[in-house]
Structure 1
């Protein structure tokens, strides 16, 4: 069968190629550039727990998250802090109020309790966001691809035409290697100005420049090393533009990226203006004495909010910035692009290996577009209140009513603005049965990364088994962790469960865990290859497990599921 054609060699396109290769699907990546990425210190990305784990799986590289914290505060005037809100993501215990550190603190300052609502306990034990230069991430992906026989990257190849046939896609490129390429499917990962989207005549409505930021990358030492900073209404402004928010994120080697939220409009941000912002900000954070710094890169970053009307047109798909643009209030567009990859890769792999699965392929748009649309809707509704000072409670309910909490959600990857979306209304949801039990993880949400025992007896993290194309079946069996697998693999319900897993209509891996949040002993979880929970059953229920697996593959629900003795053989 023909390879999958991927248009675009940014982080999303390269990640998709690797994700397909992990599932034995070949691809051709059309790169309009030279294969060498521009090194811009001010062009960085933030990855949250799930997307950072995806990058580690695809690149086999351990990414350093150590020491990253987030602190936000407001000041009335220089050297007088009236309220400080601390957001701790490293899971360490509380420190004393007078320590001057943000780590683990529940609330400080005026005693309002704002810190507890905005950050505090909700993040204890979580994994800190990862901040990395985009060219470093792309380089890691390219190194992984260099040793991957199933991925071919073709440089200096710009797409200018495509045609679809019942059995495949034809893509024409211009340049030194201008030619026609034939693929089984084509995915446009070619960014905000996507040629693929334009050739398909897909509308891309939305809003332009909902936020505008001045950006600088520099080498310096700040009072709180390794700690991300958010300063709202900074008091030290004297001559620069009226900025209402400043953020600083640490990078390796005493590097920092600073962002200033600029007022609406098209006022030119000159080098002199940027230098003024840098000097005043560093002096404000460090006291009257401006610290020594080395300015490496600057720029102006415009945040657009747009959403493509369609993400699939027969054998052609859109992913990443070609399908959506977002980024206001601390949200991260690359996070959503990588979640597109995780969702689409296993579905394309099923169709590539086993033939047409139209309902399964349609579910990519249904699931991913709904999640991104909800995130955009939340940000667009909150922006006028958060930036204009109006009543935020009229737009955002629950714990996100606090302005500081809402910003923390976007930056830390939680809540309506930042948390990975759940596919609660997915067309792949299986029919409810009396055997279904409720966990702390709702169906359609990402599973918790618990320790599991693999089929070879090794202890691994659940997330390490994702992205291989197989369904995962996890049995909750307290006490198994203290015995070698050989002592319990043939005891109790294990033989029946192993037989049921072998009979599923798609390859599946059987795992065992001692504990899962909210699950009783002998609960059986069915998990998709991208880590989203399908269902949880109270015990070994071969017919229900088979029906749920069928629904996950896009098959219509049958009125009579196969019984335990009549379960069909697993598809090849």
Structure 2
């Protein structure tokens, strides 16, 4: 069968190629550039726990000696000040006596209560470099540089793409995925609209090497007291990078005012002085830029054998959220579904579920951001009069940065078309159906202890039995005892290959609970005990329904247009342009 064609060699396209290769699916990555990435320290990415784990699973990155920084938001600072009152205290310290005589003010710490691990903050070229290094020896992936897409043709049996450039030619594939960014050629060739809002936020960005009063810890400064009015009076974020480098972002006022080098240097010096008791420490300015955030959502993410992923399908990023996280989740969601279709024949319901799940989740994220923006960015209205409202707004803003709540959490697929029908054998655990499972230690079929997330991304369903006490016994003592033989037989009978694992515990799960988990780590269902019929039905639903000859006949030519593609806004306002 022909390989999958991936258009675009950014982080999402390269991740998708690796994820497919891990499931024995070949691919061709069309890279319009020379195969190298510009080194820009002001262009960075933030990876949450799940997306960082995905990349570690695919590439071994980051190694423990990489010198990369997990930036915890351990002490987020909110300051309430009276106009013209100056605070000289530095972040992370108690309020000093630097307040003007006779004036009043208050300093309050807003701690991180997310309870989760800190996000990983790295330069984007470091990430793409690690992905390219992992692909260098991958036999199932071909990266074709200097190939710019200019035509796509579809038929019942596959896709043909044409590229121009020094190495332009015709390419034949089974499916084609557009990971080619905001100006996606794939999206335009498929005549897919991309409505939304332009310039939702703008930030001035600087990467510099300096010493700050805190280390290895990101800071969100909500209302810097040294800037009580005028332009650039909004939020400032500081995130650490390796080797003493920091990325600083200043929220810019609405409009298109030019950010001149002199103005940026003045703000750098002012900010550093504000954080260092009025004295500007030495610094080396390494890179600068202006980051403009748009909110857009493609009307369709699937057109027959053509799919969209990453920035080609959605743009978001206001209020601390990060679009790359969603792009990597796109790749993880789509990879196992394409792999099943590639190995076993097209299954339209399964392929359609990619759009239904991922587009629905990103649309909800955009709606949440649009609802929060007027509250957080407006300077008047209820926020000025309701006591305690600032604390609520700060907590809401923190959600995007900390990866929690409707703005920042990974989200789940509770309403997925792949969700199985309810049964009496279902039982509740702390992970709701459709959400990502917790990473616990499990015993693999060879008797070794591994992490649950290490078994994801192989194209197989996972069946996990919760069996307290098994961790202290050798597997040979319990693998043929109790309910294990019956469960093993039920797993063998599932409609597609599945791996049986055993865990001593799982949050909220009673003994003998059986978890069914998708290849991308989302919980299908939790059953009380071994229920072969219910387990089979849930697995069949998670795979899109019946997978026998009748499903192949139903698929026909394999040119479905995707589920839920009609109309609907982005949840991000009216279409721009």
The verdict on a shared fold, with TM-score over 0.5 as the criterion, is yes
Q: Residues 269 and 111 from structure 1, CA distance in 2 versus in 1: closer, same or farther, beyond 3 angstroms?
A: closer
Determine whether 1:336 maps to 2:326: yes
Asked whether the 8 Å contact 1:12–1:319 carries over to 2, the reply is yes
1:257 deviation in Å?
A: 0.2
How is 1:32-431 mapped onto 2 (pairs within 5 angstroms)?
Answer: 32-62=32-62, 64-66=68-70, 68-75=72-79, 76=81, 77-79=85-87, 115=110, 119-120=111-112, 122-124=113-115, 126-237=116-227, 241-389=231-379, 402-431=392-421
User: Following the alignment from structure 2 to structure 1, what is the Cα–Cα distance between the partners of residues 289 and 195?
Assistant: 26
TM-score (norm 1): 0.89
Asked whether the 8 Å contact 1:382–1:392 carries over to 2, the reply is no
Asked whether the 8 Å contact 1:311–1:365 carries over to 2, the reply is yes
Q: Residues 54 and 510 from structure 1, CA distance in 2 versus in 1: closer, same or farther, beyond 3 angstroms?
A: same
Task: Classify the secondary structure of the residue corresponding to 2:218.
Answer: strand
Determine whether 1:545 maps to 2:535: yes
User: Following the alignment from structure 1 to structure 2, what is the Cα–Cα distance between the partners of residues 352 and 400?
Assistant: 52
1:337 deviation in Å?
A: 0.1
Task: Classify the secondary structure of the residue corresponding to 1:226.
Answer: coil
Determine whether 1:526 maps to 2:506: no
User: Following the alignment from structure 1 to structure 2, what is the Cα–Cα distance between the partners of residues 225 and 532?
Assistant: 35
User: 1:133-190: per-residue Cα shift (whole Å, max 9, x none)?
Assistant: 0000000000000010000000000000000010100000000111110000000000
User: 1:45-67: per-residue Cα shift (whole Å, max 9, x none)?
Assistant: 00000000001011112354556
Asked whether the 8 Å contact 2:48–2:118 carries over to 1, the reply is yes
TM-score (norm 2): 0.88
1:8 deviation in Å?
A: 0.1
Over the aligned positions, Cα root-mean-square deviation in angstroms equals 2.3
User: Following the alignment from structure 2 to structure 1, what is the Cα–Cα distance between the partners of residues 106 and 138?
Assistant: 56
User: Following the alignment from structure 2 to structure 1, what is the Cα–Cα distance between the partners of residues 130 and 246?
Assistant: 21
1:17 deviation in Å?
A: 0.1
1:236 deviation in Å?
A: 1.9
User: Following the alignment from structure 1 to structure 2, what is the Cα–Cα distance between the partners of residues 389 and 454?
Assistant: 56
Asked whether the 8 Å contact 1:240–1:276 carries over to 2, the reply is no
User: Following the alignment from structure 2 to structure 1, what is the Cα–Cα distance between the partners of residues 57 and 326?
Assistant: 17
Asked whether the 8 Å contact 1:430–1:557 carries over to 2, the reply is no
Task: Classify the secondary structure of the residue corresponding to 2:486.
Answer: helix
Partner of 2:31: 31
Partner of 1:92: none
1:277 deviation in Å?
A: 1.0
Question: Which of 434, 443, 463 is the matching residue for 2:433?
Answer: 443
Show structure 1 runs of 4+ deviating over 4 A. 63-67, 97-100, 109-112, 390-393
1:239 deviation in Å?
A: 10
Q: Residues 519 and 247 from structure 1, CA distance in 2 versus in 1: closer, same or farther, beyond 3 angstroms?
A: same
User: 1:437-489: per-residue Cα shift (whole Å, max 9, x none)?
Assistant: 11111100000111111111111111111001000000000001111111111
Give 5+ residue unaligned stretches, structure 2.
Answer: 97-104, 384-388, 549-577
User: Following the alignment from structure 1 to structure 2, what is the Cα–Cα distance between the partners of residues 28 and 368?
Assistant: 23
User: Following the alignment from structure 1 to structure 2, what is the Cα–Cα distance between the partners of residues 43 and 557?
Assistant: 44
User: Following the alignment from structure 1 to structure 2, what is the Cα–Cα distance between the partners of residues 353 and 557?
Assistant: 12
How is 1:551-562 mapped onto 2 (pairs within 5 angstroms)?
Answer: 551-555=541-545
User: Following the alignment from structure 2 to structure 1, what is the Cα–Cα distance between the partners of residues 188 and 135?
Assistant: 28
User: 1:88-110: per-residue Cα shift (whole Å, max 9, x none)?
Assistant: xxxxxxxxx9799xxxxxxxx96
User: Following the alignment from structure 2 to structure 1, what is the Cα–Cα distance between the partners of residues 183 and 547?
Assistant: 40
Q: Residues 284 and 225 from structure 1, CA distance in 2 versus in 1: closer, same or farther, beyond 3 angstroms?
A: same
Partner of 2:22: 22
Asked whether the 8 Å contact 1:474–1:512 carries over to 2, the reply is yes
Asked whether the 8 Å contact 1:392–1:403 carries over to 2, the reply is no
1:232 deviation in Å?
A: 1.5
Asked whether the 8 Å contact 1:237–1:280 carries over to 2, the reply is no
Determine whether 1:473 maps to 2:463: yes
More RCO (CA 8 Å, sep 6+)? 2
1:74 deviation in Å?
A: 2.8
Q: Residues 474 and 246 from structure 1, CA distance in 2 versus in 1: closer, same or farther, beyond 3 angstroms?
A: same
Give 5+ residue unaligned stretches, structure 1.
Answer: 87-96, 101-108, 394-398, 559-572
User: 1:494-545: per-residue Cα shift (whole Å, max 9, x none)?
Assistant: 0110111111111100000011111100000000000000001000111111
Asked whether the 8 Å contact 2:208–2:247 carries over to 1, the reply is yes
User: 1:317-372: per-residue Cα shift (whole Å, max 9, x none)?
Assistant: 00000000000000000000000001000000000000011000000000000000
